[in-house]
Structure 1
Amino acid sequence: MARTAAAPSTRRRKILAILAGGLVLGVGTALTLAAWNDSEFATGTFTAGSFNLEGSTDGTAYSDHAAIGDPAALDFSVGFDELSPGDVVTAPFAVRLDAGTDYDAIVTMTTADVTGDPANLTYRVLQTATFGCGDLTGATTLVSSRGLSEALAGVTFPLVAAPADQEYLCFEVTAGAGLTQDQSATATWQFAAESQ
């Protein structure tokens, strides 16, 4: 008698069906993992600009005098160190923004410090077309005549960010009639530039 193959059991069929289903899901997952990917990136570099005010007592050589303890020494005309009542002495000064400066500025002039005995000494500051105090014809008054010890505020002028744009100034100091022998005073002015 010949033997016939037994029909697969129901349990075996269920196992095969589950394995076949898992195989289909596994292939689907593999296809999902094979998707393409791409990215873009962007970056920016940020650098601060440069800003520097410098001064000159000779109209040619400019340098920094950024601390009250290290000011530019004004070169006053003959007689500044032996004043008599009625004497007038002058000193030129120039300010500009250095070659590396990126911004225009508004410069504010103030009195930073006065020591000694400033009584009977007055001063004014003029804006001139060229460096020096020799010819003040056509000069513009920046600071009107005032006592050396008077606080100075609100005096401003513009500067353009180019070394060729210089502000030429002339300080003029006058000894009053009440000046006493051996009287001495030192004044320091500040030029504070603010970028625009």
Structure 2
Amino acid sequence: MTHTDAVTGAPPESGRRRGFRSRRVKAILAGGLVLGVGAAVTLAAWNDSEFAQGTFTAGTFNLVGSTDGTTFTDHATAGTPATLGFTVNAASLSPGAVTTAPFAVELAANTTNDAVVTVSGAGSTGTVAQLTYELLQTTTFGCTTSTTGTTVVPAGTALTTVPASTTFPLVHGTGGAAGAPVFLCYKVTAGAGLVQGQTGSATWQFAAASQ
């Protein structure tokens, strides 16, 4: 049997307190459920990383030349060129005379790339008028008036001139060896108007660009 207050008709105070406590417990439980969901989201976060690194080392590149087909060394400036050994004494040329000289280039043993070599004129001294030349690429080292090969510079070219885009390829070596050499043959012809006593020199540049 439920007891009520005789004046107000409300439940006794103890009943009201029990009802309040019940609602507060429900509110706390509801709050606990909300906190539980929040904790689950936080625990689900994961992090991970990957790193990558590359190491890069430059190769080496060196063009060398030879006047005997055996010993290859650097002749790196116009002031220290290799001296071509022409077969006819250059101090006694006469009109119509032809003098020849061999030359060779290769990529040194420490070179790591192939190359394209561009031939150009590097200047002259004295008087070189009435002198023309031809430059051939040959299969073996050596050069005479009868030597044949692939034309690099055509016959009749003025001694101080090199046609534009005069190039040839070079291959680098493997296993620590030098690359295969390219053999060249210079043929210089004196013209009919050669002046007695004239003297001069011409220099060529072989510029290698790595590929």
TM (norm. structure 2) is 0.71
Say whether the 8 Å CA contact 2:102–2:185 is kept in structure 1: yes
The structure with more radius of gyration: 2
Aligned residue for 1:62? 72
Return the match for 2:171 from 148, 160, 165. Answer: 160
| Deviation at residue 124 of structure 1 after TM alignment | 0.8
Return the match for 1:43 from 41, 44, 53. Answer: 53
Say whether the 8 Å CA contact 2:131–2:189 is kept in structure 1: yes
In the aligned structure 2, how far is the partner of 1:96 from the partner of 1:153?
A: 22
Give the 3-state SS of the residue equivalent to 2:153 in structure 1.
Answer: strand
Aligned partner letter, 2:189: T
In the aligned structure 2, how far is the partner of 1:138 from the partner of 1:148?
A: 20
Aligned partner letter, 1:78: V
Give the 3-state SS of the residue equivalent to 2:92 in structure 1.
Answer: coil
Say whether the 8 Å CA contact 1:97–1:159 is kept in structure 2: yes
Aligned residue for 1:84? 93
| Deviation at residue 70 of structure 1 after TM alignment | 1.1
| Deviation at residue 134 of structure 1 after TM alignment | 3.6
Give the 3-state SS of the residue equivalent to 1:95 in structure 2.
Answer: strand
Say whether the 8 Å CA contact 2:115–2:170 is kept in structure 1: yes
| Deviation at residue 40 of structure 1 after TM alignment | 5.5
In the aligned structure 2, how far is the partner of 1:194 from the partner of 1:155?
A: 13
Any residues of structure 2 matched to 1:18-167 within 5 Å, and which?
A: 41-80=51-90, 82-86=91-95, 87-134=97-144, 136-145=146-155, 146-162=157-173, 163-167=178-182
Percent identity, aligned pairs only, is: 56
1:176 lines up with 2:191 in the alignment: yes
| Compared CA separation, residues 149 and 164, structure 1 to 2 (3 A) | closer
Deviation digits for residues 92-126 of structure 1 (CA, Å, limit 9, x no counterpart): 10001111111111111011111211111111111
TM (norm. structure 1) is 0.76
The gaps in structure 1 that reach 5 residues or longer are: 1-35
Count of residue pairs brought into register by the alignment: 192
In the aligned structure 1, how far is the partner of 2:146 from the partner of 2:88?
A: 17
In the aligned structure 2, how far is the partner of 1:79 from the partner of 1:105?
A: 34
Aligned residue for 1:3? none
Say whether the 8 Å CA contact 2:98–2:145 is kept in structure 1: no
1:189 lines up with 2:198 in the alignment: no
| Compared CA separation, residues 134 and 161, structure 1 to 2 (3 A) | same
